[in-house]
Amino acid sequence: MTDHSNEQTDPSAIKDPDEWVTGDEPPTAAQESYLATLAREANAELPDDLTKAEASKRIDELQAETGRGR
């Protein structure tokens, strides 16, 4: 049996948030919490009406700004 626990996810397997079936839904609680943390660290403001897909994109942007998550 092979241990795959340390393997990275294939980046080509990650679906673009614009293509998510649930992308128009409200962000998850985890997204909202992490966004709040990132926004605080980046001194950024967040709109109240983000969708799940928009939240995902904003997380990526704020991670780049703060150096977190990558």
Least confident of 2-6, 10-14, 51-55, 64-68: 2-6
Q: Is 35 helix (H, G, I), strand (E, B) or coil?
A: helix
Q: What is the arithmetic mean of pLDDT over 32-61?
A: 95
Lowest mean pLDDT among 15-19, 37-41, 66-70: 66-70
Query: Tell me, what's the pLDDT at 70?
Result: 63
Top pLDDT among 8 and 36 is at 36
CA distance 10 to 27: 24
pTM of the model as a whole: 0.76
**Contact criterion met (CB below 8 Å) for 35 and 27:** yes
